[in-house]
């Protein structure tokens, strides 16, 4: 009896300068199988559907439960996390390719360090006085916590940046993820001492004004962050800050 | 003197905690991590972090936390460091709060606390059911702040290969591999702190992340660092079985009132929800009336094994039990357990608000690890270890929500300790051993790249995982453990015939994996042999042939050292100066 199989097509590229080629694979189906399992199966038996020897696929992954943000890729054209992409819910052949907006490293691995640089630029941290014991933190109502917690669930997967028409070299747009973190830190009783600096960092070229409200970001976010809501709020704050800065000159 | 330069390897909670303390004290840090530090395995911790803040009017104290931890660990942990950790915990929670961790709150705006296993107190602070993620992000943000000030340099995408030791056996740096360019080089430091996490990959499938191979620990073990209590492996009672990993279903589900049960009739075909109350066997509540569903993990895991394999109960013939939250209202579940319910729904397809979850135990955590002294230094001067990769805080079984605490606490003390060590360390002779170590590593790399043979490293790894899971987890027999060790020896032999399908020198993940595999195999022997030698049952280590704890022979730390013919074992007295060992009976009335 032939076992049930799954068809994959994976875009391979051995280095940034090498040509891209599509390879097909036929893998044994198993219940609950996801796209990362398929990558592991290929590593254990690196052969294409036509029987040609190949190499294990290079890709980023770590937690495999959609919380580390590593395994973002395009699966059947959609930017998403490979670990939570269950084979049974996907049309076959399952076409897998790297995110397209970031420098390619190899196969499905791309360099997304731009997000971490953006987080530095907006000072996405609470400027505590020090780590010595200064007693309890500021009181926070449950209502405030319920606004901040979802924003703090961003896993830095960059799916929101991948699908944003404005996120490209021409605009230099920071993207929705960074803007949501600005809202998070500006909301915090201590974090807000850097509010003005964060808002100024989001003014001008590449800042929040580049957003075209396509709303793709909020559609694709695997953690369902209220991204468009954050963009609206921070847009308003950036404008108010610019006005204050202008009047205060 | 010059600013001390410290290397921290690993960017999870422990590593980042150390980095922050060093940078704050004026030291300079080089931080190495396989993944961007924000993607470290600490993000997977769910339920919370323990601290006896006593904000619920229960009369909780840090001493009770200390006692619960020692008792939960079946008296194997040295008591001095555990006591200090529990005493430091309330201030650590305050600091995390000040760093902006979005902890759940009470109506007054104070931190909320919930119950966890192995205690009768509400002692666990939490941020939904993604506490590890939230804590890691808070520390990551502080480190990013220091990075932007030039005090921290990150080497993300570099894998630690070995310590650099000078002619006197003092650590003077590390060698590491750039996982993109495959460049091998050494880095100098006045002290090195390893914070390289767990070893789940040795068991194939576990709750751990892909990077948790134990490769770094094993590498320094093979260079002479003592490995302690390796046989103590925590198997978490409630995981979602999966093809690629076992996904954790947090203990907080039970902390918030979740109940574990199986149908009394093993051939009951009805959906869980349809089975009436009287036909359900709430075995934890029945067997452990005082702690109920919140017995420690080793107890709950063995109970599930007993129900499934001895009582032959399960879910429709499958080796699983129910973890049921459906009696709790939807809003409460969303507020307190949001993150984990999403995981279940995404990976299983059922909504745990409406349907009882199907779960089974899975390898989760190593209590054992690199031997360290009370200052977190290993037996190699200048080489420190913190977090899950060391052995010090959890004895024979870790209590839930103590791991985040032990990571941060050890990180916080190791930073200043590494700095003061650096300031007093003697100057190195010659080049400190850098050239020789790079040569040794380059030879290993060259041999592996051109090695010919019929073995695929990923297949060997699956065989290792199968044998370790079968023989060295919940129930252990000496015969099986010996078979496991023989199998590892066979795999080490076959490893000599490993051939890489990819011999390129650019982002070659199978090359990196093959190097990790060798280290996993060496460390697996420590686990299997350590378990063989310990003829008693204590905490997570359970042998039906030796069902009792034997303090006379085994109230001792296992210490393994590497030799070319396999690990060699010796034993060390445990510090029990504060709490006298007593029988550990969670089923007793008191």
Residues B254-269 pLDDT 10s: 999 999 999 999 999 9
Does B570 fall in a domain? no
Does B431 fall in a domain? no
Residues of chain B contacting residue A140, judged by C-beta atoms under 8 Å apart: 102, 105, 109
Residues of chain B contacting residue A32, judged by C-beta atoms under 8 Å apart: 242-243, 347-348
- As a CATH number, domain A113-247 is 1.10.1060.10
Give SS3 for B217: helix
* DSSP code, position B132: H
Please name the residue ranges forming H helices in B374-508.
403-424, 434-450, 457-471, 478-495
Q: What is the mean pLDDT of chain B?
A: 97
Of B549, B361, B394, B434, nearest in space to B192 by CA:
B434
Neighbour tally for A26: CB within 10 Å: 15
Q: Are residue B304 and residue B387 in the same domain, yes or no? A: no
CATH topology of domain A5-110: Ubiquitin-like (UB roll) (3.10.20)
Alpha carbon of A164: minimum distance to chain B alpha carbons (Å):
23
Q: Are residue B48 and residue B90 in the same domain, yes or no? A: yes
The residue among A15, A128, A143, A149 with the most chain B CBs within 10 A of its CB, best to mutate, is: A149
Q: Are residue B486 and residue B388 in the same domain, yes or no? A: no
Does B13 fall in a domain? yes
Does B18 fall in a domain? yes
CB of B21 within 8 Å of a chain A CB? The answer is yes
Neighbour tally for B430: CB within 10 Å: 11
Cβ distance of B243 and A140 shorter than 8 Å: no
Q: Give the model's pLDDT for residue B243.
A: 86
Q: What is the DSSP string of B42-111?
A: GGG--S-EE-----SSS---HHHHHHHHHHHTTT-S-HHHHHHHHHHHHHHHHHHHHTT----B-TTSPB
Q: Are residue B492 and residue B520 in the same domain, yes or no? A: yes
Number of domains in chain B: 3
Strand partners, B370: B227, B390
Does B557 fall in a domain? no
Cβ distance of B95 and A123 shorter than 8 Å: no
Neighbour tally for B180: CB within 10 Å: 16
pTM: 0.97
3-state SS track over B293-342: HHCCHHHHHHHHHHHHHHCCCCECCECCEEEECCCCCHHHHHHHHHHHHH
Give CA B58 to chain center in angstroms.
30
Q: Which two tokens stand for residue B415?
A: 């930073």
CB of B20 within 8 Å of a chain A CB? The answer is yes
**Residue B528 Ramachandran class (φ > 0 left, ψ -120 to 50 alpha, else beta):** alpha
Q: Are residue B180 and residue B61 in the same domain, yes or no? A: yes
Q: Which two tokens stand for residue B88?
A: 């430091």
Instruction: Kindly tell me if the per-residue pLDDT of B532 is higher than 70.
Output: yes
If contacts are CB pairs under 8 Å, which of residues 26-85 in chain A contact chain B? 30-34, 36-37, 40, 43-46, 53-56, 58-70, 83-84
Instruction: Kindly tell me if the per-residue pLDDT of B150 is higher than 60.
Output: yes
Please name the residue ranges forming H helices in B73-206.
79-98, 131-148
pLDDT single digits (tens) A98-143: 999 999 999 999 999 999 999 999 999 999 999 999 999 999 999 9
What average pLDDT does the segment B38-57 reach? Answer: 97
* DSSP code, position B273: G
Query: What is the separation, in whole angstroms, between the first and last Cα of chain B?
Result: 58
Neighbour tally for A218: CB within 10 Å: 18
Q: Which two tokens stand for residue B177?
A: 């591999």
Share of chain B above pLDDT 90, in %: 97
Q: What is the mean pLDDT of chain A?
A: 96
Tell me, yes or no, if B297 is annotated catalytic: yes
Q: Are residue B195 and residue B98 in the same domain, yes or no? A: yes
Residues of chain B contacting residue A145, judged by C-beta atoms under 8 Å apart: 102-105
Q: Give the model's pLDDT for residue B589.
A: 52
Instruction: Kindly tell me if the per-residue pLDDT of B341 is higher than 80.
Output: yes
pLDDT single digits (tens) B444-483: 999 999 999 999 999 999 999 999 999 999 999 999 999 9
Q: Give the model's pLDDT for residue B587.
A: 87
Does B56 fall in a domain? yes
Q: Which residue has the tokens 């936390």?
A: B65
pLDDT single digits (tens) A215-239: 999 999 999 999 999 999 999 999 9
List the single residue in A with minimal CA-CA distance to B140: A125
Q: Give the model's pLDDT for residue A248.
A: 85
Instruction: Kindly tell me if the per-residue pLDDT of B590 is higher than 80.
Output: no
Instruction: Kindly tell me if the per-residue pLDDT of A1 is higher than 60.
Output: no
Instruction: Kindly tell me if the per-residue pLDDT of B437 is higher than 80.
Output: yes
Q: Give the model's pLDDT for residue B588.
A: 80
Q: Are residue B448 and residue B524 in the same domain, yes or no? A: yes
CB pairs below 8 Å between A and B: how many?
196
Cβ distance of B40 and A128 shorter than 8 Å: no
Q: Are residue B485 and residue B469 in the same domain, yes or no? A: yes
Q: Which two tokens stand for residue B331?
A: 């809003």
Domain boundary (B506, B525, B542) is at: B542
Alpha carbon of B482: minimum distance to chain A alpha carbons (Å):
27
Instruction: Kindly tell me if the per-residue pLDDT of B298 is higher than 90.
Output: yes
Range of the domain at B511: 442-542
CB of B508 within 8 Å of a chain A CB? The answer is yes
A2 pLDDT tier (thresholds 50, 70, 90): low
- φ, ψ of residue B230 in degrees (nearest 5): -55, -25
Q: Are residue B348 and residue B382 in the same domain, yes or no? A: no
Q: Give the model's pLDDT for residue B429.
A: 86
CATH number at residue B453: 1.20.58.100
A249 pLDDT tier (thresholds 50, 70, 90): confident
Strands (E), A13-128: 21-28, 72-75, 78-81, 94-97, 104-106, 109-110
Does B156 fall in a domain? yes
Strand partners, A95: A9
Strand partners, B171: B165
Instruction: Kindly tell me if the per-residue pLDDT of A162 is higher than 90.
Output: yes
What average pLDDT does the segment B314-324 reach? Answer: 95
Residues of chain B contacting residue A67, judged by C-beta atoms under 8 Å apart: 43-44, 130, 133, 339, 343
Share of chain A above pLDDT 70, in %: 99
Give SS3 for A21: strand
CA-CA distance, A1 to B455, in Å (whole number)? Answer: 28
Alpha carbon of B457: minimum distance to chain A alpha carbons (Å):
8
Q: Give the model's pLDDT for residue A86.
A: 97
Q: Are residue B80 and residue B199 in the same domain, yes or no? A: yes
CATH number at residue B249: 3.90.700.10
Share of chain A above pLDDT 90, in %: 98
CA-CA distance, B505 to B508, in Å (whole number)? Answer: 6
pLDDT single digits (tens) B370-416: 999 999 999 999 999 999 999 999 999 999 999 999 999 999 999 99
Instruction: Kindly tell me if the per-residue pLDDT of B47 is higher than 80.
Output: yes
Going from N- to C-terminal start, the domains of chain A cover 5-110, 113-247
Domain boundary (B311, B341, B362) is at: B362
What average pLDDT does the segment B279-307 reach? Answer: 97
The ipTM is 0.97
CB of A2 within 8 Å of a chain B CB? The answer is no
Among B114, B115, B247, B297, the one annotated catalytic: B297
List the single residue in B with minimal CA-CA distance to A14: B506
Q: Which strands sit side by side in the sheet containing B556-561, from one edge to the other?
A: B369-370, B227-228, B556-561, B568-573
Instruction: Kindly tell me if the per-residue pLDDT of B519 is higher than 70.
Output: yes
**B192, B459 contact by CB (below 8 A):** no
Residues of chain A contacting residue B145, judged by C-beta atoms under 8 Å apart: 123, 125, 127
Q: Are residue B210 and residue B339 in the same domain, yes or no? A: no
Q: Are residue B356 and residue B379 in the same domain, yes or no? A: no
Task: Report CA-CA distances (Å) from A231 to A148, A217, B3.
Answer: 15, 11, 43
Does B435 fall in a domain? no
CATH number at residue B11: 3.50.50.60
What average pLDDT does the segment B360-378 reach? Answer: 98
């Amino acid at each position: 009896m032939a076992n049930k199989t799954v068809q994959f097509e994976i875009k391979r590229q051995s280095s940034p300068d090498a040509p891209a080629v599509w390879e097909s694979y036929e893998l044994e189906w198993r219940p609950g199988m996801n796209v990362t399992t398929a990558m592991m199966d290929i590593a254990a038996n690196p052969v294409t559907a036509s029987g040609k020897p190949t190499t294990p696929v290079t890709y980023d992954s770590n937690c495999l439960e959609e919380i580390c943000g590593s395994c973002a890729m395009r699966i059947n054209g959609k930017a998403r996390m490979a670990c939570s992409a269950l084979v049974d819910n996907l049309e076959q052949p399952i076409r897998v390719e790297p995110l397209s907006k970031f420098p390619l490293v190899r196969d499905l691995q791309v360099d997304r360090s731009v997000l971490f640089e953006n987080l530095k630029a907006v000072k996405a941290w609470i400027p505590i006085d020090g780590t010595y014991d200064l007693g309890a933190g500021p009181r926070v109502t449950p209502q405030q916590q319920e606004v901040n917690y979802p924003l703090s669930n961003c896993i830095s997967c960059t799916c929101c940046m991948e699908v944003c028409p404005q996120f490209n070299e021409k605009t230099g747009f920071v993207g929705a993820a960074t803007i949501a973190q600005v809202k998070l830190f500006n909301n915090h009783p201590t974090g807000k001492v850097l509010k003005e600096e964060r808002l100024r960092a989001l003014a001008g070229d590449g800042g929040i004004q580049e957003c075209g409200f396509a709303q793709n970001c909020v559609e694709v976010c695997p953690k369902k962050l209220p991204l468009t809501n954050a963009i609206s709020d921070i847009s308003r704050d950036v404008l108010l800050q610019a006005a204050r800065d202008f009047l205060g000159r | 003197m010059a600013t001390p330069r410290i290397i921290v390897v690993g960017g999870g909670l422990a590593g980042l905690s150390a980095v922050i303390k060093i940078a704050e004290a004026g030291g300079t840090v080089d931080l190495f991590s396989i993944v961007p530090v924000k993607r470290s395995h600490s993000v997977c911790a769910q339920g919370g972090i323990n601290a006896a803040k006593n904000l619920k009017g229960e009369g909780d104290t840090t001493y009770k936390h200390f006692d619960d931890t020692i008792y939960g660990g079946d008296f194997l942990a040295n008591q001095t460091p555990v006591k200090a950790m529990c005493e430091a915990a309330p201030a650590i929670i305050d600091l995390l709060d000040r760093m902006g961790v979005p902890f759940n709150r009470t109506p007054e705006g104070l931190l909320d606390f919930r119950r966890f296993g192995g205690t009768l107190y509400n002692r666990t602070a939490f941020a939904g059911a993604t506490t590890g993620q939230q804590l890691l992000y808070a520390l990551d943000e502080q480190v990013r702040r220091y990075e932007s000030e030039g005090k921290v340099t990150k080497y993300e995408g570099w894998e630690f290969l070995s310590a650099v030791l000078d002619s006197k056996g003092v650590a003077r740096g590390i060698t590491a591999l750039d996982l993109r360019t495959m460049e091998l080089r050494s880095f100098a430091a006045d002290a090195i702190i390893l914070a390289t996490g767990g070893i789940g990959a040795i068991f194939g499938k576990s709750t751990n992340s892909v990077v948790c191979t134990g490769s770094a620990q094993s590498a320094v073990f093979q260079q002479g660092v003592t490995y302690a209590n390796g046989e103590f492996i925590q198997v978490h009672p409630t995981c979602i079985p999966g093809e690629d990993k076992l996904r954790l279903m947090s203990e907080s589900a039970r902390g918030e009132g979740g109940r574990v049960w199986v149908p009394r009739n093993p051939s009951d075909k009805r959906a869980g929800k349809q089975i009436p109350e009287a036909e359900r066997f709430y075995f934890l509540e029945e067997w452990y009336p005082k702690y109920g569903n919140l017995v420690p993990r080793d107890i709950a895991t063995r109970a599930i094994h007993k129900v499934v394999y001895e009582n032959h109960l399960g879910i429709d013939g499958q080796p699983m039990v129910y973890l049921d939250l459906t009696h709790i209202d939807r809003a409460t579940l969303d507020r307190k357990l949001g993150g984990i319910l999403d995981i279940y729904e995404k990976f299983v397809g059922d909504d745990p608000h409406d349907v009882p979850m199907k779960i089974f135990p899975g390898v989760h955590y190593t209590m054992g690890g690199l031997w360290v002294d009370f200052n977190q230094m290993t037996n190699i001067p200048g080489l420190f270890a913190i977090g899950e990769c060391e052995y010090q805080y959890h004895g024979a079984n870790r209590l839930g929500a103590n791991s985040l605490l032990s990571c941060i606490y050890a990180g916080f003390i190791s930073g200043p300790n590494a700095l003061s060590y650096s300031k007093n360390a003697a100057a190195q002779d010659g080049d400190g051993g850098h050239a020789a170590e790079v040569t040794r590593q380059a030879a290993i790399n060259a041999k592996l790249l051109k090695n010919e043979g019929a073995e695929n490293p990923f297949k060997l790894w699956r065989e290792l995982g199968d044998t370790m899971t079968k023989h060295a987890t919940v129930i252990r027999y000496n015969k099986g453990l010996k078979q496991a060790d023989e199998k590892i020896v066979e795999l080490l032999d076959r490893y000599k015939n490993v051939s890489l399908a990819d011999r390129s020198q650019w982002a070659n993940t199978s090359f990196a994996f093959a190097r990790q595999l060798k280290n996993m195999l060496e460390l697996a022997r420590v686990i299997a042999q350590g378990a063989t030698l310990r003829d008693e049952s204590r905490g997570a280590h359970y042998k039906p042939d030796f069902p009792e704890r034997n303090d006379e022979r085994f109230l001792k730390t296992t210490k393994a050292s590497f030799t070319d013919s396999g690990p060699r074992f010796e034993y060390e007295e445990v510090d029990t100066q504060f709490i006298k060992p007593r029988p550990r009976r969670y089923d007793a009335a008191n």
